[in-house]
């Protein structure tokens, strides 16, 4: 029996895209045990974070198409007025280079856009893609889009979760805030992450698809 089923993932997020669901199911039996997602609690926390980062298993690339007003809300220090925000409104490429350029390992003139959030955990920044490349062996610095490719997205997310962010101890404590800080760098959308975790607890416990894996 597969560790994760399509029914489980749709219970966690009824709006989940079928291609994302299929990509997770296809690799879960291989990737979860290989990287230490070997308990129900760890799997639940992983799926909860993935569900939130992808808008309910729907989005694999960061959406940077913001109105000027929304830019002022999201990045108030960078865009304190409409006049400063309007040149970047509904201009994702220019916005990415403005807000991500010159940090997170981004040095080239287009690095902010190239290394925008991608994949199941929205990996962002050239430095993070370089770490992920080191641990997966995938050429992610040259091809960051591989983090969103069906054949690689789960491995990239699991490696990021376990090795780069180092969340297993926080998972074992059932500390959703601690997991979120490690994955997100803050507590963005913590309430949504808690809700997804509750959905994961219900879906996986009820269906018992992980069977022999201890809780």
State the CATH number of the domain containing residue 31. Answer: 1.10.530.10
In a domain, residue 212? The reply is no
- Average pLDDT in the 164-186 region? 97
Specify the number of domains making up the chain: 2
- Specify whether 154 is located in the same domain as 48: yes
Instruction: At 80, give phi and psi (nearest 5°).
Output: -75, -15
* Structure confidence at residue 178 (pLDDT): 98
Beta carbons of 47 and 157 less than 8 angstroms apart: no
* Structure confidence at residue 45 (pLDDT): 98
Q: Which of 124, 148, 189, 145 is nearest to 59 (CA)?
A: 148
Residue 2 has pLDDT above 80, yes or no: no
In a domain, residue 171? The reply is yes
Rounded to the nearest angstrom, the gap between the alpha carbon of residue 98 and the centroid of all alpha carbons in its chain is 22
Residue 205 has pLDDT above 90, yes or no: no
Cα 207 to Cα 166: distance, rounded to the nearest angstrom: 28
Range of 176's domain?
A: 6-60+149-207
Q: Which of 174, 149, 147, 163 is nearest to 34 (CA)?
A: 163
Rounded to the nearest angstrom, the gap between the alpha carbon of residue 87 and the centroid of all alpha carbons in its chain is 28
Residue 207 has pLDDT above 50, yes or no: no
- Average pLDDT in the 44-50 region? 98
In this prediction, residue 115 has a pLDDT band, given cuts at 50, 70 and 90, of: very high
In this prediction, residue 1 has a pLDDT band, given cuts at 50, 70 and 90, of: low
In a domain, residue 143? The reply is no
In a domain, residue 79? The reply is yes
* Structure confidence at residue 50 (pLDDT): 99
* Structure confidence at residue 137 (pLDDT): 98
């Amino acid at each position: 029996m597969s560790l994760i089923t399509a029914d489980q993932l749709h219970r966690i997020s009824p709006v989940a895209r079928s291609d994302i669901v299929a990509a997770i199911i296809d690799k879960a039996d291989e990737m979860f045990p290989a990287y230490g997602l070997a308990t129900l609690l760890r799997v639940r926390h992983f799926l909860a974070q993935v569900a939130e980062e992808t808008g309910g298993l729907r989005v694999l690339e960061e959406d940077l198409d913001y109105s000027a007003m929304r830019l002022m809300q999201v990045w108030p220090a960078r865009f304190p007025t409409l006049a400063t925000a309007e040149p970047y409104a509904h201009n994702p490429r220019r916005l990415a280079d403005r807000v991500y350029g010159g940090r997170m390992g981004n040095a080239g003139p287009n690095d902010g856009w190239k290394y925008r959030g991608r994949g199941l955990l929205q990996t962002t920044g050239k430095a993070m893609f370089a770490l992920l490349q080191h641990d997966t062996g995938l050429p992610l610095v040259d091809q960051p889009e591989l983090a969103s490719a069906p054949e690689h997205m789960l491995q990239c997310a699991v490696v990021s979760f376990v090795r780069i962010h180092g969340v297993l101890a926080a998972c074992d404590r059932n500390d959703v805030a601690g997991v979120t800080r490690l994955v997100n760098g803050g507590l963005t959308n913590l309430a949504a992450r808690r809700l997804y975790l509750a959905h994961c607890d219900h879906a996986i416990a009820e269906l018992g698809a992980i069977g022999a894996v201890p809780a």
